[in-house]
Structure 1
């Protein structure tokens, strides 16, 4: 157990050194982190954003491009974004959300992308030197660059349900159905519970242990007394957290 705690603390310490003081810049429903420390290859950039519950930035509008340029200017010259090559056509690039760059706004440097000298330029950077003003350029994915992470601000959905619950022990496991259709599963759920008859002394902790798109499975623990309880109406309150848009039906 002590070894596990040591390893956990060590990982947190390494993350702190790697990321330092993180500042997220907000635009609409997205937040952006500009990494300006040690440069890394593309896969390490992807993995580093994932540790922050984020992805390499998608720049689909001139508004987003200019917003980022204003932040980046004067910090670093080359930054990976979330665009990669899927074929050798000029429009053969895809964002990391699965959408292709086939039309609409793009920010390529004049003459790019060119897969220069057939060097397998399958990744994309924003390039700030030579007056390019952070327009896009294709580069080999083993090139060392800084990067931009993007995440969506949390979207929350909440609800409650009353259940008849019995337990012979101080805890039990139950399914909590959202009573609404969510298009994706939340990445986190927080929940609480109390007796419908609030005059009763029963107090509970609710610990979600398995989160799905239509319900979560929770451990219900009585904390006022180490005992079970007779069949009772218990009100379960929950808040579901999403970092991408969710449809609710």
Structure 2
């Protein structure tokens, strides 16, 4: 009985150290979760925080392609699931787009042509990734109060408790 308990505990420690929670996908040292609920940007950010995560921060074309693949995997064919909050914003200084969690300026971008643009002089301070009808996948700026799906990320140094 003691050896079985020890094995269970050891398995949990390995999962906590190396794995992602159930329903999350792993890529390059991070875990990602694609939501099936719609929230405004601040609420989406808080919801990610409940998982000891943050809204996803895309640092490379490889990571961007990976997120497109997991969005397609979980939400392909759901016409209402075409826009997802990411962790970028220019809330503090207009035009100064940064990843809010890490406070880093964007080093990689994938904006739709003409974006960001604060369409019709709206306060468009939050970042989404959008999938258009032609399956094009790019970034757009939107009002933070919009209701959209979102993507959470747990990074290597987040301190998250991960039990899969």
TM score, norm. by length of structure 1:
0.50
Cα deviation, 1:140-189, whole Å, max 9, x if unaligned, reads 00000000000025x6xxxxxxxxxxxxxxxxxxxxxxxxxxxxxxx8xx
What is the aligned partner in structure 2 of residue 58 from structure 1? Answer: 57
List gaps (5 residues or longer) in structure 2: 1-20
SS of residue paired to 1:63: helix
1:87 matched to 2:93? The reply is yes
Specify which of 115, 118, 127 is matched with residue 115 of structure 1: 118
- State the Cα RMSD in Å: 1.9
Provide closer, same or farther for how the CA distance between residues 132 and 117 of structure 1 changes in structure 2, counting only shifts above 3 A. farther
- Whichever of the two has the greater Rg, that structure is 1
Answer yes or no: is the 8 Å Cα contact 1:109–1:132 preserved in 2. no
1:46-101 deviation digits (Å, cap 9, x = unpaired):
11000001000000100100001011121520000000013333xx1110211112
> 1:69, 1:133 within 8 Å by CA — same for their partners in 2?
no
**Rounded Cα–Cα distance in structure 2 between residues aligned with 1:125 and 1:132:** 15
More helix by share: 2
- Find the residue that maps to 2:43 and give its secondary structure: helix
The question of whether the paired residues in 1 share the 8 Å contact of 2:82 and 2:131 is answered with yes
Segments of 4+ moved more than 3 angstroms: none
Alignment of 1:21-32 (within 5 A): 23-32=23-32
1:6-47 deviations in Å (ceiling 9; x for gaps): xxxxxxxxxxxxxxx9511001210000002x3111111011
> Which residue in 1 is equivalent to 2:104?
99
CA distance in 2 between partners of 1:109 and 1:87 (Å)? 21
Q: Identify if the C-alpha distance between structure 1 residues 132 and 88 changes in structure 2 by more than 3 Å, giving closer, same or farther.
A: farther
Q: Report what 2:5 is aligned to.
A: none
- Structure 2: how far apart are the matches of 1:152 and 1:88? 27
**Aligned residue-pair number:** 132
Q: Deviations over 1:174-208 (max 9, x none)?
A: xxxxxxxxxxxxx8xxxxxxxxxxxxxxxxxxxxx
**Which structure's relative contact order is higher, taking Cα pairs within 8 Å and 6+ residues apart?**
2
Shift of 1:118: 1.2
The aligned runs of 1:1-249 (5 Å cut-off) are 23-36=23-36, 38-73=37-72, 74=76, 76-85=81-90, 86-89=92-95, 92-96=96-100, 97-101=102-106, 104-131=107-134, 133-153=136-156, 242-243=159-160
Alpha-carbon separation, structure 1, partners of 2:22 and 2:44 = 15
